[in-house]
Amino acid sequence: MTAFNVVRFRVKPGAEQRFVDMHRKMKPNFKGFVAGHLVQTGDQTFCMIGEWRNFESIVAARPQMIGLLDSMRDLLDDLGGGLGLTDPVSGRSVAKLGAPPAAKKQTKKKTKKKSKKKK
């Protein structure tokens, strides 16, 4: 069953673009990783959202993900409240929300005018 991990970050002032650039250059090679999105949620705050084939893939990739995090720790600010530099959560998807079906486009029917022949 599909699973997701979400990690919240606060980046040090002035390090935002470097943080984004590092994510754009990443080529994660984690078994079971489907896709990831870095979302900017404020001036210095971001969330990384990862989609996985299953929860076990997340668990197996944690050491590699920590290695990636280690490469950017110097860009991060403490989130406060005893959280440290990151606020990670992960779990199995329990419901998938879909967009409503797109409305069908109405096409104009081409009509041919019949011409009357005069005799």
pTM: 0.78
Mean pLDDT of 13-29: 94
* pLDDT bracket for residue 28 (50, 70, 90): confident
Domain ranges of the chain: 3-81
Contacts of 54 (CB under 8 A, 6+ apart): 1, 2, 3, 32, 92
Mean pLDDT of 93-114: 78
Confidence at residue 99, expressed as pLDDT on a 0 to 100 scale: 87
For the domain 3-81, what is the CATH code?
3.30.70.100
